[in-house]
Amino acid sequence: MRIAMVAPIAWRTPPRHYGPWELVTSLLTEALVAKGIDVTLFATLDSITSATLAGVVPAPYSDDPAIDAKVWEHRHLAHIFERADEFDIIHNQADFPAHAFSALVATPMVTTIHGFSSERILPMYKPYEDRVHYVAISAADRHPDLRYAATIHHGIVPGDFPLDPVSSDDLLFFGRIHPDKGTAEAIEVARRTGRRLHIYGIVQDQAYYEREVLPHVDGKAIIFHGPVGGEARVAALGKAYALLHIINFDEPFGLSVIEAMACGTPVIAQRRGSMPELIENGVNGYLVDGVETAVAAVGKIDAVDRRQVSESVARRFSVGRMADEYIALYEHILTGRGRKWGAGRCL
């Protein structure tokens, strides 16, 4: 089985710091290679992989202002589809632009939808559903008007996020600094519970950061660290008393949620989007309905066993499980059962 894995070009694959789509693309690629699948990763030329790396984009456009995103995204896709007949499956992780090429080649195509952002993108999905096999990353993120081949939750390498059985007393916010992610709500929960809050992430909404976050950052009770990767990322996730994920949108998945839980850190999450698919109340965290119930949940964290939290991720969200489900999807497509099977059933 020969797979062309199409990465986005906003960031390197895997990303140095932020870049959730590139991270999942890397995790899946490495897991497939480990299972003996022949994978060619189409990504930026600075990407790192055990698969065969193929690329024309010199660097990620989010790192290098000389890279014009529109120009190089088209060049990236042209390079992939010019080689389509070399592969059994094209697996697209880079959103809808690739769909424009899908009817021009005979190679079957899979698109993992990393969050159905709005109704406005439907015209680049709905007309192609008989040609492209769509994968949702959670049941909550499935659009009612779109036909899917499968729902496959993301996975991580649990060993990359080892259990830290002893936490600090500090709370954690980990994600984009944006109203959707609930940074201000996390600050309010920390203030009302009298606990220090560590904030990690890129500033995606500068005005929100300056208005709702920066006035509270004092380096003592509220500490802003910026984006973080590598060992520092794992340490931040593992040492927290609890991760606050008081989101204001329907989160399609939430990698930081399962990464924190893999380290043993319970998650207090707003009951929206995919959170009920990830959080088991009282086992690996608590589902809440706003700041009031989040404050109450902080008071119950001591009742949660950090070892159980970690085990819940190893049991349900390993990268090996994710890879096996994608391999099963590829096999369904290649044996000719994919289109009938894709008419609404899920793995």
Domain harbouring 173, CATH code: 3.40.50.2000
Report yes or no: 145 and 126 within 8 Å, Cβ to Cβ.
yes
Residue 167: which of 267, 71, 98 has the closest Cα? Answer: 267
What's the rounded Cα separation, in Å, for the pair 260 and 279?
Answer: 12
Residue 17 tokens read as 């710091």
Residue 278 lies in a domain: yes
The answer to whether residue 346 is domain-embedded is no
The answer to whether the bond into 108 is cis (omega within 30° of 0) is: no
Q: Is the distance from CB of 308 to CB of 284 less than 8 angstroms? A: yes
pLDDT tens, the chain, 347 aa long: 999 999 999 999 999 888 899 999 999 999 999 999 999 999 999 999 999 999 999 999 999 999 999 999 999 999 999 999 999 999 999 999 999 999 999 999 999 999 987 899 999 999 999 999 999 999 999 999 999 999 999 999 989 999 999 899 999 999 999 999 999 999 999 999 999 999 999 999 999 999 999 999 999 999 999 998 889 999 999 999 999 999 999 999 999 999 999 999 999 999 999 999 999 999 999 999 999 999 999 999 999 999 999 999 999 999 999 999 999 999 999 997 544 333 333 34
Residue 347 resides in a domain: no
DSSP 8-state class, residue 217: -
Query: Considering the domain boundaries, does residue 279 fall inside one?
Result: yes
CB 262 within 8 A of CB 161: yes
Residue 225 host element (H or E): strand 222-226
Whose structure tokens read 């990465």?
Answer: 7
The sign of the CA dihedral 281, 286, 292, 298 is positive
Is residue 295 classed exposed, middle or buried when 0-12, 13-18 and 19+ CB atoms within 10 A define those classes? middle
Q: Indicate the DSSP class of residue 196.
A: -
Distances (CA, A) of 331 to 5, 170, 190, 239: 16, 46, 48, 41
Residue with the two structure tokens 């109704």: 119
**What is the predicted pLDDT for the residue at 237?**
96
| Pair (32, 123) in one structural domain | yes
Token pair of 114 as six digits:
């990393």
Whole-number Å distance between alpha carbons of 155 and 175 = 18
Asked if 294 and 180 sit in the same domain, the reply is yes
Q: 102 and 245 in one domain?
A: no
Return the pLDDT at 346: 39
* CB neighbour list of residue 134: distance below 8 Å, 6 or more residues apart: 110, 111, 113, 125, 146, 147, 148, 149, 342
Q: 55-58 long-range CB contacts below 8 Å, 24 or more apart?
A: 55/79, 57/9
Same domain, 269 and 182: yes
Report the 10 Å Cβ neighbour count for 142. 18
Tell me: do 134 and 18 sit in the same domain: yes
- Which structural domain range is residue 126 located in? 2-155+318-341
Residues 108 and 233 placed together within one structural domain of the fold? no
- Structurally, how many domains does the chain consist of? 2
Do 279 and 188 share a structural domain? yes
- Same domain as 163, residue 149: no
Assess contact for 54 and 91: CB atoms under 8 A. Answer: no
Residue 296 CB coordination number (10 Å): 13
Tell me what pLDDT residue 343 has. 33
